[in-house]
């Protein structure tokens, strides 16, 4: 048995209860969680913006210690420290073989499979991970080993926020030294993107968020300017970028209006990279003239366009060198009972990452 925060109805409360985990089967690993981050995608699963069978244990950004491995597992062993990968590639489909493992055709296969029971009913793992639990069972390919000297509470943030935010800058947008970058939306992913832009050598990093309390943190992580969203935002950004607009805009909010703002903030020939996962009912509109006239590029970015097995070690190099601050993203800490309050803070735009410690 293990304690978990279980969601039973859309937009309902997450009740902390005991569930019985399935044993680690062939190719599977049981992990005792040390910490899990509360990501906006968890809220999107809870409210139905993203689909998820219920009842479910949400949570997909986590790190912990391997306690059991199933038959055929060779990559990790009991006692190993691991970061959970919520979108593990199969390495054999067309996308994986084309060098796009973040688009793997089979990454979602485990998400509709029950990983536990509660009173005899199936319980599903959010994004195939189920990190809002003291222990979880995942496929071995969803475990990324990390050195034992890396604090697991900070390593948890590598599993989503850091991979997605830094990856959006370095892998999807491919920001070059001297270029200008706008980051819209300063949750955990947006703050990671600011750090990624600084590491990439951006000459100006303009952070945009409606919460004034986030200014100090954004500037400490590398932003050169902090702006609140308003009707004249694109004009203000042009004034800060030689009258042209930014070379890159990284959209981390997942809303039609902020995607549109990112597009308008970029210069002619610039690139707007959309990281935030929004609603299918939230449209973004462009007129027929501006698409060709501005010659901008609109890029979608899933999971930072990363291969976690490759990119996590790179992020750890930055962390060891002091270029990446993981702890700074954590603005609140809680236990399992505080997940609902963390969702409320996200709805109101407060804080960046709430970290669950087990």
How confident is the model over 166-184, as pLDDT tens digits?
A: 999 999 999 999 999 999 9
Q: Which of 187, 184, 138, 140 is nearest to 160 (CA)?
A: 187
Q: How far is CA 237 from CA 64, 181, 266, 302, in A?
A: 42, 10, 9, 26
Phi and psi angles of residue 157, each rounded to the nearest 5 degrees, phi first: -70, -20
Q: List residues bridging with 204 in a β-sheet.
A: 180
Domains contained in the chain, CATH given: 2-159+325-357 (3.90.180.10), 164-303 (3.40.50.720)
What integer pLDDT is reported at residue 36 of this predicted model? 98
Q: Does residue 38 contact residue 342 with C-beta atoms inside 8 Å?
A: yes
Query: What's the distance, CA 225 to chain centroid?
Result: 23
Read off the pLDDT band of 18 (50, 70, 90): very high
Read off the pLDDT band of 350 (50, 70, 90): confident
**Region 108-135 average pLDDT:** 92
What integer pLDDT is reported at residue 276 of this predicted model? 94
Q: List residues bridging with 31 in a β-sheet.
A: 66, 136
Q: Does residue 143 contact residue 82 with C-beta atoms inside 8 Å?
A: yes
CA distance 358 to 150: 17
Q: Does residue 256 contact residue 283 with C-beta atoms inside 8 Å?
A: yes
Q: Does residue 79 contact residue 28 with C-beta atoms inside 8 Å?
A: no
């Amino acid at each position: 048995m293990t304690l978990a925060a279980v969601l039973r109805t859309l937009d309902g409360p997450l009740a902390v209860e005991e569930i019985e985990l399935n044993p680690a089967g062939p190719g599977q690993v049981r992990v005792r969680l040390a910490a899990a981050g509360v990501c906006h995608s968890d809220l999107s699963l809870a409210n139905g913006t993203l689909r998820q069978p219920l009842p479910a244990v949400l949570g997909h950004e986590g790190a912990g210690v391997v306690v059991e491995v199933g038959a055929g597992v060779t990559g990790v062993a009991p006692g190993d420290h691991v970061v959970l990968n919520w979108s593990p590639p199969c390495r054999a489909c067309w996308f994986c073989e084309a060098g796009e493992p973040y688009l793997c055709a089979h990454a979602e296969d485990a998400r509709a499979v029950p990983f536990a029971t509660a009173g005899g009913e199936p319980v599903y793992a959010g994004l195939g991970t189920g990190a809002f639990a003291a222990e979880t069972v995942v496929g071995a390919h969803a475990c990324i080993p990390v050195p034992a000297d890396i604090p697991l509470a900070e390593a948890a943030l590598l599993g989503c926020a850091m991979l997605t935010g830094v990856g959006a800058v370095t892998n999807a947008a491919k920001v070059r030294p001297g270029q200008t970058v706008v980051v819209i939306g300063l949750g955990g992913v947006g703050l990671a993107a600011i750090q990624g832009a600084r590491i990439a050598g951006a000459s100006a990093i303009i952070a945009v968020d409606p919460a004034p309390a986030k200014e100090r943190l954004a500037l400490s992580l590398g932003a050169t300017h902090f702006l609140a969203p308003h009707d004249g935002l694109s004009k203000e950004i042009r004034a800060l970028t030689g009258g042209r607009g930014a070379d890159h805009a990284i959209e981390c909010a997942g809303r039609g209006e902020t995607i549109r703002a990112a597009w308008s903030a970029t210069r002619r020939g610039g690139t707007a990279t959309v990281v935030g996962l929004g609603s299918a009912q939230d449209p973004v509109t462009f007129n027929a003239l501006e698409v060709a006239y501005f010659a901008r590029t609109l890029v979608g970015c899933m999971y930072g366009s990363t291969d976690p097995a490759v990119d996590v070690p790179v992020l750890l190099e930055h962390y060891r060198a002091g270029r990446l601050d993981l702890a700074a993203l954590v603005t609140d800490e809680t236990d399992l009972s505080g997940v609902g309050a963390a969702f409320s803070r996200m709805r109101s735009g407060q804080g960046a990452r709430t970290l669950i410690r087990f």
